[in-house]
Amino acid sequence: MTFNWNYMFGLVADAEFWRATWTVVKLSFLTWIISIALGFFLALAKQSKRRLFNLPARAYIWLFRSLPLLVLLIFIYNVPQAWPASTVVLSDPFWAGLMAMVLSETAYVAEIHRGGLLSIHKGQTEAARALGLAFFGTQWRVIIPQALRVALPSLANEYISIVKLTSLVSVISLTEVLMVGQRLYSENFLVMETMAAVAFYYVFIVTVIDFLLKRLERFLDVNLRNVSRVPDAEVLALATQQRPVLARAAATGNEVPALQATRLHKAFNDVEVLGAVSLAIQPGEVVSVIGPSGSGKTTLIRLLNGLEQIDNGDIKINGQPFIHLEKQGAQKPRFIENPAYRLNIGMVFQSFNLFPHLTVLDNLLMAPRYHKLGPVEELKQQAYALLHKVGMLDHTWKYPHQLSGGQQQRVAIARALMMRPQIMLFDEPTSALDPEKVNEVLQVIEALAQDGITMVIVTHEMNFAFKLSDRIVFMEKGRVVCDDKPQVLRSGHNPRVEAFLKDVQLA
């Protein structure tokens, strides 16, 4: 039997094949896009700690990954027999096929998304929470863009699988590429030639789509972006002429502490990490928290910002309740946070936690725009002024990966200040930096202290703490051992503090 090359090449220009190809593209693209959208909600639901969301998501994924697509197609197409009202939509093979494929693919795409979501460091969520973003705001603006970039290669591969799965829709009489080929070879019996043409069309679709997806992947990869833009004269003028507003107006009455924590307690797995710690910070005061590793310093500062839930105690801002436990009878106490006061506290993390998919400028603008703190142009002027203040104006349009550790921390400080917090919390802001980068961050913090910003600083930089602080809190084993002025701690009246500082050469 000879192969009819002329017939095969003739099918490459066949109008019916090209119409069927367009049907495949539409069906696969719509399936992919809808599945990506629904898959995110399903992945988030499966990760939820609430059984109300978790169990249905798990059941959906289990069921639709177990059902063969062919069975699902036939079932959906025959639903109108039991539910006549659905005939309007499901009598059309295209819409019936789309529904069946979306139901099936959403379960697979959800697991791809879940892998992407799990790859995002929890520091990203904590940074967004510290900036006052709600759950869905955090997902939409911070987590999903990063998770989508991580999951894109797998999603692209899934799209190619969807293209090939569209061939199964021929069982419900949708005119797609395989069905056109079957109809032709049943008439002329040129099976090899016809199926070679069918293969050509599928290879053509996959090749074009793969090319486009590779371009999209490169476009979304910020590591490939070369930012050479520098501030022009207008930006420099805005940055230098406008004095940045660093803090909100504090509550009236100097007798009211800016931040007050009373008998805070925290345990992890029944191991006490913090026990009955009380702390009062006055407006404009700089307090450093020092102590050996494992003494509860970081836990304390995370409790003050609500990043960890207290087991007991309460926290007030300007005398008003911020975080407390509500007890109702014998029930477990309920954690209550007043979100109206969250923006009064700024947080700078040990590991920076900048958003890697955003430029330096966008890192500063995201939260203020989310909270609608002002017109965009005014917010930009404020951002330029803050970046100038921390010495980062020349890096305005760079991405975090293009900055050194010290530069990233200075941007993180500027990002926190964009919210104009009354109180700034620093969790060991220099511990992740090389020694030569430490000083540039400490200089920024010292400048903020001179501007009168209320600050609580967890630090191992003893000379810095004793030079800058109004008070120093020494902690050990989850307790406050000493809370006094630096000159008092220098005097050596407390044996434990003296032992801790014995190898430190205080300037």
Which CATH number characterizes residue 463's domain? 3.40.50.300
| Structural tokens at position 161 | 């699988």
What average pLDDT score do residues 427-454 get?
Answer: 89
Contact 442, 464 (CB under 8 A): yes
- Final residue before a domain boundary, out of 179, 201, 220: 220
What average pLDDT score do residues 200-225 get?
Answer: 92
Position 240 scores a pLDDT of: 85
Note whether 14 and 156 are same-domain residues.
Answer: yes
The parent domain of residue 59 ranges over 5-220
The mean-pLDDT minimum among 218-222, 261-265, 413-417 falls in 218-222
Which phi and psi angles does 381 have, rounded to 5°? -60, -40
Residue 283: Cβ within 10 Å count: 19
Summarised one tens digit per residue, pLDDT across range 337-389 is 998 899 999 999 999 999 999 999 999 999 999 999 999 999 999 999 999 99
Contact 222, 284 (CB under 8 A): no
Which phi and psi angles does 254 have, rounded to 5°? -70, -15
Residue 253 has pLDDT above 70, yes or no: no
Instruction: Please say whether the dihedral angle defined by the alpha carbons of residues 169, 171, 172 and 177, taken in this order, is positive or negative.
Output: positive
Note whether 53 and 139 are same-domain residues.
Answer: yes
Note whether 202 and 297 are same-domain residues.
Answer: no
Position 126 scores a pLDDT of: 95
In a domain, 380, yes or no: yes
Distance CA 75, CA 91 (A): 12
Q: What is the mean pLDDT of the chain?
A: 91
Per the DSSP assignment, residues forming a β-bridge with 259 are 281, 317
Note whether 364 and 451 are same-domain residues.
Answer: yes
What average pLDDT score do residues 389-401 get?
Answer: 93
Which CATH number characterizes residue 63's domain? 1.10.3720.10
Residue 218 has pLDDT above 60, yes or no: yes
Position 161 scores a pLDDT of: 95
- Final residue before a domain boundary, out of 220, 248, 268: 220
Distance CA 497, CA 235 (A): 49
Distance CA 196, CA 202 (A): 10
What average pLDDT score do residues 84-91 get?
Answer: 91
Note whether 203 and 285 are same-domain residues.
Answer: no
Position 111 scores a pLDDT of: 97
Residue 250 has pLDDT above 70, yes or no: no
| Structural tokens at position 25 | 């593209």
Note whether 80 and 193 are same-domain residues.
Answer: yes
Summarised one tens digit per residue, pLDDT across range 306-331 is 999 999 999 999 999 999 998 877 77
Note whether 287 and 187 are same-domain residues.
Answer: no
Which phi and psi angles does 435 have, rounded to 5°? -55, -40
Residue of 137, 136, 139, 161 whose CA lies nearest to 148? 139
Distance CA 127, CA 209 (A): 36
Note whether 369 and 476 are same-domain residues.
Answer: yes
Note whether 172 and 287 are same-domain residues.
Answer: no
Which phi and psi angles does 52 have, rounded to 5°? -60, -35
Position 254 scores a pLDDT of: 59
Position 241 scores a pLDDT of: 79
In a domain, 99, yes or no: yes
Residue 31 has pLDDT above 80, yes or no: yes
- Final residue before a domain boundary, out of 204, 220, 236: 220
Summarised one tens digit per residue, pLDDT across range 157-181 is 999 999 999 999 999 989 899 999 9
Distance CA 393, CA 242 (A): 14
Per-residue b or e along 426-441, where b marks 16 or more CB atoms closer than 10 Å to that residue's CB: bbbbbeebeeebbebb
Note whether 379 and 486 are same-domain residues.
Answer: yes
Distance CA 486, CA 468 (A): 9
What average pLDDT score do residues 120-144 get?
Answer: 94
Question: Which residue blocks in 48-143 are alpha helix, DSSP H?
Answer: 51-66, 69-77, 79-82, 87-90, 93-118, 122-130, 135-138
| Residue 1's pLDDT band (cuts 50, 70, 90) | low
Number of domains within the chain: 2
What average pLDDT score do residues 483-498 get?
Answer: 86
Note whether 178 and 287 are same-domain residues.
Answer: no
Please state whether beta strands 312-317 and 259-268 pair in parallel, antiparallel, or not at all (unpaired).
antiparallel
| Residue 507's pLDDT band (cuts 50, 70, 90) | low
What average pLDDT score do residues 455-460 get?
Answer: 94
Note whether 164 and 16 are same-domain residues.
Answer: yes
Query: Higher-confidence residue: 272 or 2?
Result: 272
